C-alpha cells in the first residue's frame, strides 16, 4: 500500500513538473528551435512532401530532417552543418524505467526464462530500476535521390540495455541466449540495424536496402520513443519478428493534387529474427503497402515463409508461416487520434495466433498526452509466449500519461516521462504460473539526443 501511495505521489509530481513547464514555456521565445530528434522508419506524411520542379523528373522530396542535441553540438564546433548538407546524421536516445507488480511483487522465475508474467519490455524485471536502452545511430540519407540523381546511404544502429536480450537475431551477439542465457549479463549489446542503401533515379526514386533492418510488421516499435507506452503489447512481443536480414526494395507513388502518398515495399529475408545464421536455410518474403491521405493512413503487411520453430529451431523448411496484418491511424482532430492493429499468424501444423490492439491518444497540449491501449491476444497451444499447453487467450488494458516538460527547449524538448497502469487477464493461470490476472504500475523516462 505504501508503494502504491508512493507511485501516486510520483505521478502527481510528474504532472506538477508538466504544469510548471507549461508556465515556463508560455514565457519562452516563440521562435525557439522546436526540432525533434532522431529518425523513424515510418513513411513521411503527405504534408511533409514537396512538389517537384516542372523541369525535373517527378520526385518525392525527402521528409525534412531535424537534428538532435548531438548534431547541434557538432554544429557549434563547425562540423555539423557540412555533415548535414551531405545527408549524415548521428543521433540516439536513452530510456530507463521501473515496473512494480502488485499481484506478485517479487520474481518467482528468472527474468529471461519463458515468461512467468508474460509482459516483456520491461516486465520480466520486477520492482527494480532498469536501463532498458541506450541507442546510437549513424546514418546517411539519400538526399540526392529526390533531385533525380543516383545516390547511396547507410544506417548503423546499436543498442545497449536490458531490451537487447530479447532483440538479438540469430548469429549476432546472441551467445548468451543460446548458451546459458540466465547467467549472462542483464544489460547487453545488440546491433539492431546495419544496412546499406542504393537510390535509383527511376520515377520518384527506387530505394534498395541490403542488410539487417527492423521488421516491417507491427504498430509498435523497438524504439521506445515511437510508442505511447513503456510496456509493449502481446502482438509486438510474441506475434511478429523484431528484425530481419535481407534485401528490401521501396517505391513511393505521389499525387500532389490529392495529397496522397502510397508506398510499396517488398523484401526477401533470411527469416524471423535470423541474420548470420538461418534456422532452416530458406528465405521468407515480406510485402507492405502504406497509404497516407489527409487525416487517415493505413498499412497492409504480409509475411510468408518457412520460419522453423520459435525462436531459433529446430529446422523446418517444409511448413509455411503466413502472417497478414492491417494497421489504421485516424487523426480525428489535431488532438485526438484512434489507431488499430489486427494481426493473424498461421504456422502450418504448429499453431495459430491472432491479436487486436486498439489505441486512443488525446494530446491535451504540447506538454501532456493521455494514452490508452486495449488488446486481445490468442496464443494457440501457448507456443508464441513459450508457456505451452492449451490455447490461451489474453486481454490487457493500459492507461498512461506522457509528460513532456520542455517541448520548446532545443536540447530537452524530447525529454518525456511516462507513468502507466496496466491490467492483464488470461483464461489460464499463467501469470507467475499461479494467477489469472496481473496488475502492474510502471514509469519510464526517455530523452532523444
For residue 304, the domain's CATH number is: 2.40.160.10
pTM: 0.84
pLDDT at 311: 54
pLDDT at 178: 85
Residue 33, classed as helix, strand or coil, is: coil
Contact 236, 218 (CB under 8 A): yes
pLDDT at 241: 96
Domain of 330, in residue numbers: 2-448
Contacts 24+ apart (CB under 8 A), 167-171: 167/192, 167/222, 167/242, 167/243, 168/273, 169/212, 169/242, 169/243, 169/245, 169/273, 169/274, 169/275, 170/273, 170/274, 170/275, 170/276, 170/277, 170/278, 170/279, 170/312, 171/274, 171/275, 171/276, 171/277
pLDDT at 349: 85
The tally of domains found in the chain comes to 1
| pLDDT, one tens digit for every residue, the chain (449 residues) | 443 444 344 334 333 434 444 344 444 443 443 333 333 344 443 333 334 444 444 445 555 668 999 999 999 999 999 999 999 999 999 999 999 999 998 878 778 877 778 888 888 888 889 999 999 999 999 999 988 999 999 999 999 999 999 999 999 999 988 887 788 899 999 999 999 999 999 999 999 999 999 999 999 999 999 999 999 999 999 999 999 999 999 999 987 677 899 999 999 999 999 999 988 889 999 999 999 998 999 999 999 999 877 654 567 777 899 999 999 999 999 999 999 999 999 998 889 999 999 999 999 999 999 999 999 999 999 999 988 889 999 999 999 999 999 999 999 999 999 999 999 999 999 998 899 999 999 999 999 99
Amino acid at each position: 500500500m505504501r508503494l502504491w501511495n508512493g507511485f501516486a505521489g510520483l505521478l502527481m509530481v510528474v504532472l506538477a513538473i508538466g504544469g510548471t513547464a507549461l508556465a515556463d514555456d508560455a514565457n519562452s521565445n516563440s521562435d525557439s528551435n522546436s526540432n525533434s530528434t532522431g529518425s523513424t522508419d515510418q513513411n513521411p506524411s503527405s504534408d511533409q512532401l514537396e512538389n517537384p520542379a516542372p523541369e525535373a523528373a517527378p520526385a518525392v522530396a525527402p521528409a525534412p530532417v531535424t537534428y538532435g542535441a548531438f548534431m547541434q553540438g557538432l554544429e557549434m564546433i563547425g562540423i555539423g552543418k557540412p555533415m548535414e548538407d551531405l545527408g549524415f546524421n548521428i543521433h540516439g536516445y536513452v530510456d530507463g524505467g521501473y515496473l512494480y507488480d502488485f499481484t506478485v511483487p517479487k520474481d518467482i522465475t528468472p527474468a529471461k526464462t519463458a515468461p512467468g508474467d508474460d509482459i516483456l519490455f520491461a516486465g520480466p524485471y520486477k520492482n527494480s530500476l532498469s536501463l532498458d536502452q541506450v541507442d546510437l545511430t549513424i546514418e546517411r540519407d539519400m538526399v540526392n535521390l529526390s533531385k533525380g540523381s543516383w545516390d547511396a546511404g547507410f544506417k548503423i544502429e546499436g543498442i545497449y540495455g536490458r531490451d537487447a536480450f530479447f532483440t538479438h537475431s540469430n548469429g549476432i551477439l546472441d551467445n548468451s541466449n543460446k548458451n546459458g542465457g540466465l547467467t549472462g549479463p542483464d544489460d547487453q549489446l545488440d546491433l539492431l540495424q546495419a544496412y546499406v542503401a542504393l537510390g535509383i533515379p527511376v520515377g520518384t526514386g527506387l530505394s534498395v536496402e541490403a542488410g539487417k533492418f527492423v521488421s516491417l510488421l507491427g504498430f509498435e516499435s523497438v524504439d521506445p520513443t515511437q510508442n505511447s507506452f513503456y510496456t509493449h503489447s502481446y502482438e509486438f512481443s510474441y506475434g511478429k519478428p523484431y528484425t530481419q536480414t535481407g534485401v528490401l526494395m521501396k517505391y513511393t507513388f505521389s499525387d500532389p493534387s490529392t495529397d496522397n502518398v502510397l508506398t510499396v515495399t517488398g523484401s526477401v529475408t533470411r527469416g524471423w529474427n535470423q541474420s548470420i545464421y538461418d534456422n532452416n536455410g530458406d528465405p521468407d518474403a515480406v510485402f507492405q503497402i502504406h497509404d497516407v491521405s489527409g487525416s487517415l493512413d493505413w498499412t497492409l503487411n504480409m509475411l510468408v515463409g518457412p520460419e522453423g520453430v520459435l525462436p531459433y529451431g529446430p529446422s523446418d523448411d517444409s511448413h509455411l508461416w503466413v502472417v497478414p496484418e492491417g494497421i489504421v491511424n485516424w487523426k480525428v482532430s489535431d488532438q485526438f487520434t484512434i489507431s488499430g492493429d489486427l494481426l493473424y499468424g498461421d504456422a502450418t501444423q504448429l499453431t495459430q495466433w491472432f491479436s487486436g490492439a486498439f489505441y486512443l491518444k488525446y494530446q491535451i497540449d504540447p506538454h501532456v498526452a493521455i494514452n490508452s491501449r486495449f488488446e486481445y491476444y490468442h496464443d494457440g497451444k501457448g507456443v508464441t509466449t513459450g508457456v505451452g499447453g492449451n490455447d490461451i487467450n489474453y486481454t490487457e488494458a493500459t492507461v498512461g500519461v506522457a509528460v513532456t516538460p520542455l517541448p520548446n527547449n532545443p536540447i530537452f524538448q524530447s525529454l518525456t516521462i511516462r507513468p502507466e497502469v496496466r491490467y492483464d487477464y488470461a483464461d489460464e493461470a499463467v501469470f507467475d504460473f499461479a494467477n489469472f490476472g496481473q496488475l502492474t504500475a510502471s514509469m519510464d523516462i526517455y530523452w532523444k539526443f
